[in-house]
Amino acid sequence: MIDEQTDKKPNSFWRELPILLGVAVLVAVLVRAFVLQTFYIPSPSMEHTLDIDDRVLVNKVVYHFRSPDRGEIIVFKAPAEWSSNPNGEDFIKRVIGVGGDRVQCCDPEERLIINGQPLDEPYIFSEGGIQDPAAVGPFDITVPSGRLWVMGDHRSASGDSLEHWDRTGEIDIATISEDWVVGRAFTVFWPIDRATWLTVPEPFDSVPAS
């Protein structure tokens, strides 16, 4: 039996290094394009769930297999009516209502009502422990099929579904298409002292189907 061994020529590592680097770059590009992507938070619209300059990791695969759920934090391509940037930009908000949901404001405790169920929202930005009542005025809408009603956790500082509903009264402008969703933000990874998982708050579990 002949013992065959790979005979590497001297300095072969340095000749192979550009190929290895090229493969690594290609893998990184593919992962960023199709699997995971990092985003930074440029505005206060999701305080204090997400603060300015937080970095989040976004799963770009999950919504190829299912639709977004209530309570999830999503990144999406902003509709033209939502953005002053002609090149488009990414927004990050929380899904409050999905297709078929009736979303109303508010009950006597200033809580949103989804399909008849008042929603406790411990994550919303508050001053002195209570939400500013002026941040959310009365409304009563039904989310069209295939679209999402999204809101920021800092309601008075968020350009979201409510703002565009108040401005236009057009439900197709106030909601976003599921096709515009880039992915689900599932963790804050920077800064280290704010690292956390972005899970769906428990109160959404009690919301009935539409």
What is the per-residue pLDDT across 107-143, written as a single tens digit (0 to 9) for each?
Answer: 998 899 999 999 999 999 876 444 554 566 789 999 9
Q: Of 43, 60, 84, 93, which residue is the catalytic one?
A: 93
What's the pLDDT score for residue 126?
A: 75
- Separation between Cα atoms, residue 58 and residue 38, nearest integer Å: 6
What's the pLDDT score for residue 3?
A: 47
123: DSSP letter: T
- pLDDT above 90 covers what percent of the chain? 67
What's the pLDDT score for residue 1?
A: 45
Identify the weakest region by mean pLDDT among 4-18, 35-49, 57-71, 137-151.
4-18
Model pLDDT for residues 152-185, shown as the tens digit of each residue: 999 888 999 999 999 999 999 999 999 999 999 9
Strand locations in 87-146 (E): 90-97, 102-105, 112-114, 117-119, 139-142
Domains and CATH numbers, the chain: 36-206 (2.10.109.10)
What's the pLDDT score for residue 6?
A: 47
Residue 199 near residue 185, CB atoms below 8 Å: no
What's the pLDDT score for residue 13?
A: 60
Region 26-37: mean pLDDT is 59
Instruction: Indicate the SS3 state at residue 182.
Output: strand
Q: Is 45 a catalytic residue?
A: yes
Q: Of 9, 12, 43, 45, which residue is the catalytic one?
A: 45
- Kindly give, in sequence order, each residue whose CB lies less than 8 Å from that of residue 63, ignoring residues fewer than 6 positions away: 178, 181, 183, 184
Tokens of 50: 């997400």
Q: Give the distance from CA 65 to its chain's centroid.
A: 16
Q: Is 77 a catalytic residue?
A: no
What's the pLDDT score for residue 189?
A: 93
Kindly indicate the confidence band of residue 210, based on its pLDDT and cuts at 50, 70 and 90: confident
- Separation between Cα atoms, residue 125 and residue 155, nearest integer Å: 7
